Each structure stands twice: as structure tokens, then as C-alpha cells.
Amino acid sequence: MSWFRHSADARGNGDRAHVATRQHRFSETLHIIRERAGQGPVSIAEIIDLAGPQGHAFMAVFFMLPFLQPIPLPGISTVLGFVVAMLGIFSTLDRPPWVPARLAHVAIEPRSIEKICGALERLLARLERVIRPRARDVLAMRWMRYLNGVLWVLHALVFSLPLPIPFSNTLPAVVVMLLAVGTMEDDILVIMLAYVAVIANVAFFGGLIAIPVMGWNAVAS
């Protein structure tokens, strides 16, 4: 069964789901979406509504999760990378989540929702015991929000590059996911872990550039 199907009605079956009006923990949002999936396919627009104020970050994590494995998926990652970059821009500017209408009307099959939400719940089961709001005042500062937004967008764009190299999707996806989770949970510790992952990305992609250059220089000399 296909993970996605196009729907003429972006709301799927029945009326549009009630938009979340308060901030949920990540696990609570997952529970809400799984309950909705029990009624039938769920459109991406509806998932954003269900995620409420944290829609940008939730969708970024949702899209990045399948790439936490070493094998790159160039075609899919290019499209999703640009979408996640747009989500990062809107999150930084403190505007409601937005995705292109063509993507918003794509419905995800309930079985796929179950797989993704189940994987996220297992991933977060232990993390949420230690993740909690830390230094909210610092995270609310404009310069911090812009810094995190720039890192989010840059790594989403790197993620979108069609590189047939193991971990070329994984490492940027980790940065985006940590930034998104840290934003949702208002936890500066998770944001700090994202910065460590940024350094790992710089080392990885810098090495991809440096090794051929060094080899060329060795041959030339």
C-alpha cells in the first residue's frame, strides 16, 4: 500500500479536524494524530492543523524521520528538503505553517501514520523523561530564534542536495530534528545538541570537499 495518496479534499473524510489551540508535548501531538488516523487517511494540511502552534517543528520531524538511516533517497529528499526549509523560514518569522497546495492535499495512509508515529514514540519514550523547558527566555530572544532558523534552513537545503553518499541525508536530518524538538519543547539542552550535530555536519561535508581537492593536488604535484 502506498504511503501517500492525492486527495481532492485536503481534509480527508468528514469535517476539518479541530485545530490545537495550546502547546502540546510532542508525544501528545502524536497521540492526537494517531487517533485521527483511525478514521481514515490524513492530509498533510490536516496534520499541520492537528499539530497546532508547533506545526512547523512537528512536520519537520515528521518528514525527517525516514532519513535517520544511512542510505540517501535523492529524489524524495530534494522535495522534502525544500519543504522543510520553507517551514523553517515561517517558524523563524513566527508565521503560521505553510506548504504548497499540491503537497497540502496529499493524504497519508493510516498504516503509514501508525508506522511513523510509532517510530517517533519509541524514539521519544526515554527522551521526554529528560527533555523539559529550559532557558525559555533565552530561546525566545530574536537573535536565538534567527540563529536556529538559519541553521534549520541551511541544513534542510543541504539535505535536499541529490548526493548518492551514505549519511548525506542523515546528518542534516539529525540537525533539523534536534532544532525542531528543542523548539517544540523549549529545551535549550536539545538546541545545544543540535549545535554539536552542526559541527559534525561541517566536518563531514568539509571532508567530502577536502578529500578530492587534496587528491587532485597530490596528483598535480
* Tally of domains in the chain: 1
Distance from C-alpha of 169 to C-alpha of 197, rounded to nearest angstrom:
13
Tell me the residue range of the domain where 48 lies: 4-220
Q: What is the mean pLDDT of the chain?
A: 81
Q: Which amino acid would we find at residue 9?
A: D
Q: Please state, for a pLDDT cut of 70, what percent of the chain lies above it.
A: 85
Give the mean pLDDT of 121-149.
Answer: 86
- Helix ranges (DSSP H) in 93-187: 101-104, 110-130, 136-139, 142-160, 170-185
Question: CA dist 170 to 33, 72, 78, 175, 193, Å?
Answer: 25, 8, 13, 9, 15
Distance from C-alpha of 73 to C-alpha of 66, rounded to nearest angstrom:
10
Split at pLDDT 50, 70, 90, the class of 17 is very low
Split at pLDDT 50, 70, 90, the class of 213 is low
Contact predicate 72/202, CB 8 Å:
no
Q: Which residue has the cell 561535508?
A: 205
Is the pLDDT reported for residue 24 higher than 70?
Answer: no
